Structure 1
Amino acid sequence: MKTKWLLSSSAVLMGLFGLAGTFFPEEISKILGIDPSPIILILLQIIGGLYLGFAMLNWFTRSAMIGGIYNKPVVLGNLIHCIVVFFALFRQLAEQFHFIFAILTVVYLGFAVWFTLVLRSNPFGNQSKMSV
């Protein structure tokens, strides 16, 4: 299974979210209709930092062997993140529909399914036994 595309695309998406949250918290809070109080701005910057950390993890792991037992913490961390964000977005859509949230919900569902497939895959594919 080709995991380089998965980790590269998730790194780019999370990197964009991270940069936006880190450098534009006031603008994001205004777009979301939230009062830009100091605590909200700090929380948006913290979330941006978390996204940047995940982006760097995915970017520097994109060429490594992933699947099965290989790099399982990376896959599990991404999978849990995608599942939690998917359910949060889905819950928000159930309360009030927003086009951006709908797109993000589909994107995060796709990433969650893809990370699940990688977790359950064999990184060696159809190759015969590896020589030791």
Structure 2
Amino acid sequence: MNTKIIMAASALFLALTGMVLTFFPQEILTYLDAGTNVYFKLSIQLIGALYFAFAIVNWMAKGNIIGGIYNRPMVMGNLAHFFIGGMAVTKALLASALPGLFWIFAGLYLRFAILFAILFNRHPTENQLN
């Protein structure tokens, strides 16, 4: 499994999500019919900043050895984020009629959760150690 591809893909996904949340909070609130509360707008922008920061960390670590004991905190952070986020989005989808875009979001979240769970439980291959 090529960890560089996984880290780069997760970084791109998080960066894109972070930029959308940061630069289009009003449009997101309108799309979700959540009103125009200034605190909601600020919260969405702060969440976007967190996504973007996490993307930068993943992007910068993509060339490192990842798996087993190597970069375990990074793998655990990603696993926790994607697993908990995937479960939350899936639960919300099953409980209410969210727009179809959220099914794609849930699918990506759960796919990344599975990939990081695999990375957590496997040791790096010999070619990653050189």
Whether these two folds match at TM > 0.5 is yes
TM-score norm. by structure 1 comes to 0.91
TM-score norm. by structure 2 comes to 0.92
**Identical aligned pairs, as a percentage?**
37
SS in structure 2 at match of 1:64: coil
Give the whole-Å Cα distance in 2 for the aligned partners of 1:75 and 1:10. 12
**CA positional deviation for 1:38:** 0.8
Give the whole-Å Cα distance in 1 for the aligned partners of 2:120 and 2:8. 17
Q: 2:38 is matched with which residue?
A: 38
Per-residue CA distance 1:74-107 (angstroms, 9 max, x = gap): 1100100001111111111111243211111111
**CA positional deviation for 1:124:** 2.8
> Any runs of at least 4 consecutive aligned residues in structure 1 with deviations exceeding 6 A, and if so which?
none
Q: 1:65 is matched with which residue?
A: 65
Aligned length: 128
The answer to which of 98-107 and 83-92 deviates more is: 98-107
SS in structure 2 at match of 1:33: coil
Q: Which has the higher Rg, Structure 1 or Structure 2? A: 1
Structure 1: 5+ residue stretches without partners = none
Give the whole-Å Cα distance in 2 for the aligned partners of 1:33 and 1:88. 19
SS in structure 2 at match of 1:69: coil
- The structure that is helix-richer by fraction is 2
